[in-house]
Chain A
Amino acid sequence: MVVKIRKMYSGGDETQTLTQEEAQNLIETEKGRYFVVDAATKKILKEVKVEDGQELLLVPILSGG
């Protein structure tokens, strides 16, 4: 059971293939700095319940000036 997570960072984007549990942990760790977007729909996921085979994008949370 794998989840693909692409995270945007200074080196470009990094793709990790993780188990559901690892993916959930990563998302929890990055809460507050990143939000989660479904790679297929490009929609933000408010409540992230990682599912097998999902592809997610971690997008830096930006703020207005």
Chain B
Amino acid sequence: MPRRLIVDEIVNVTVNDRGVFLFRGNRMNIRQVRRMIDGCQGQIDYYRREIGRYQSTIASFEKTMEKHKVLLAELTSPVVQKYIADVEEEKRRIEEKAQALLKEVVGDEAYRVLQRKGHFKFDTDGRTFQIYRSGKVYEKKGDSWKDFCIIKPDDLPLPDYVAAVFLNVKNRAKELHRR
């Protein structure tokens, strides 16, 4: 059954290159017109407030970003970078010296084994020990290896600590665990 055209209804047909469009509209009463006006105004106010909020957030973000840019420029300055390079160079120099001392203390062969396998064995006072690159020491007890605990001082470079452990165990193993 065809749809009856209501008196207060408007129907428009528009044709363009996108196709045929049908618009239907209803007559509004005054109350509805006023309500729609208020609604539009409300939406405008809302979006105006939102825009203000976002703009203030953007401004705050831009300020914070600028502070980080300034800090980054200072941290990447030649003075700071040179300091970092100097500290790293000093660390490398200390490590090299410590490795050289360790090699001198344990001997070339033991040093080579230590580099290759990570540990080497040595005997002293009829006892056999195994010392690791980490400074850990184990004593041979029968068929197994027992942890020969040594307290590590905080401040020695690791290769120096290994050299100190070797010399302490080699020369004063009995005293090390004396209570």
CB distance from A51 to the nearest CB of B (A): 20
User: Which residues on A are within 8 Å of B, measured CB to CB?
Assistant: 6, 8-13, 35, 37, 39, 42-44, 57, 59-65
Majority-rule SS of A interface residues: strand
Contact at B164–A59, with CB atoms within 8 Å? yes
Q: Which residues of B contact A57 (CB under 8 A)?
A: 105, 167
List the interface of chain B (C-beta within 8 A of A): 93-94, 97-98, 101, 104-105, 148-153, 155-157, 160, 163-165, 167-168, 170-172, 176-178
Interface SS of chain B: helix
Return A56 CB to nearest CB of chain B, in Å: 12
Q: List 15 A-B contacts (CB under 8 A).
A: A8-B156, A12-B98, A13-B98, A35-B171, A42-B105, A42-B170, A44-B171, A57-B105, A59-B163, A60-B164, A62-B152, A62-B168, A63-B176, A65-B149, A65-B150
Question: Which of chain B's residues has its CB closest to A65's CB?
Answer: B149
Which residues of chain A are within 8 angstroms of B101 by Cβ–Cβ distance? 6, 8, 12-13
> Are B150 and A11 in contact, with the CB atoms below 8 A?
no
Measured CA separation A43–B124 after assembly (Å): 12
